Amino acid sequence: MTRAAVVQGLGAMVPPGIVTNAMLAERLDTSDEWIRTRTGIAQRHMVEPGVATSDLAVVAGERALKAAGTDRVDLVVLATTTPDHPCPATAPSVAARLGLAGVASYDVSAVCTGFIYGLYAGAGAIAAGLADSALVIGAETYSSILNPEDRTTSVIFGDGAGAVVLRAGGADEPGALLGFDLGSDGSLADLIMIPAGGSRQRTPVEPADAYFTMNGKQVFRHAVERMEGAARSVLAKTGWRADDVDCFVGHQANIRILRTVALQLGLPEDRLAVNLDRVGNTSAASIPLALADAARDGVLKPGDRVVLTAFGGGVTWGATGLIWPDISVF
């Protein structure tokens, strides 16, 4: 039997504070109608100032461990665009607060593709025999990096966290991650960027340089192309046809992106997992939050063939596939 990483438990959380489109329209030149029709988003959750990414990651991690029925893992991988500090990584602090001080832990920085990259890291370590289990978390506080004056980004993103526990198992078990397709193209790095605060531009030249910036139109085009391509590649690896996919969990960026990808793959729209109307784009937390909501809504059932795919800054993209296992979701 081929050794593989198997999903053992799933946990997710969003902070209690809700920001509706109407609330944004009070301070920005936008409207509920524009946001709904152009993105599909109706509201997003945001933390109070003072709440950090690790605070959300710890809750999601605790829930995933509880869902998996364990309190031990060999590795903690945290995917985030919004670490607590530029240095050090946030994963060690999350691991320690989960009672996992001593285990290997590190951050993965692949923006909205972060969770797929994190799964790749965890699954790779398990498949190689370097670890027998891993906790992979995607957690974000985009409210800490959004320019409050930028209507093109403020209406899209939200805060939240999700996590899965992976364990060593066999490739023929439900829950086994059945191959990955990952990629990047750094020649497009400027499409999604916080220009200042790193070694290239230490302090902002313009105040906006300190915040998250995005070329939405270009990102839209590349997201469709890369999410479709990565999904096709995973279909080829699993031997599934598009029509075999019961639940397509795409990065929750924009309902028009998801619909276009589904159309191009020849996938009926009712196979799409969608929760962006409730949570917006939560970047690295997007995939596990969408999985958790789909499982709770009954859209995702044990035995379903699932494809996960995402696109994000870098630019980066990725996909993986699995048969959904009969697991707890907290």
To the nearest whole angstrom, how small is the minimum distance from the Cβ of residue 131 to ligand COA? 29
User: Annotated catalytic, 281?
Assistant: yes
Choose one: 65-73, 126-134, 212-220, 229-237; the region binding ligand COA (CB under 6 A).
212-220
To the nearest whole angstrom, how small is the minimum distance from the Cβ of residue 170 to ligand COA? 34
To the nearest whole angstrom, how small is the minimum distance from the Cβ of residue 218 to ligand COA? 8
Q: Is the CB of residue 117 less than 8 Å from the CB of residue 80?
A: no
Site for ligand COA in 138-167 (CB under 6 A): 151-152, 155
Give whichever of 95 and 155 is closer to ligand COA, judged by the CB atom: 155
Catalytic residue among 21, 45, 251, 275: 251
Give whichever of 30 and 184 is closer to ligand COA, judged by the CB atom: 30
Which residue has the closest beta carbon to ligand COA?
216
Instruction: Output the CA–CA distances (angstroms, integers) from residue 1 to 121, 169, 222, 251, in the order listed.
Output: 21, 9, 38, 32
CA 279 from centroid of its chain's CA atoms: 12
Site for ligand COA in 259-278 (CB under 6 A): none
Residues sharing a CB contact under 8 Å with residue 22, sequence separation 6 or more, in sequence order: 32
User: Annotated catalytic, 215?
Assistant: no
The pattern of x and - marking residues 291 through 330 that bind ligand COA according to CB under 6 A reads --------------------xx------------------
Site for ligand COA in 34-93 (CB under 6 A): 34, 38-39
Q: Is the dihedral of CA 163, 234, 173, 107 positive or negative?
A: negative
Which token pair is 47? 């933390």
Question: Which chain residues interact with ligand COA by CB under 6 A?
Answer: 30, 34, 38-39, 112, 151-152, 155, 214, 216-217, 219-220, 223, 253-254, 281, 311-312
- Which residues participate in catalysis according to the annotation? 112, 251, 281
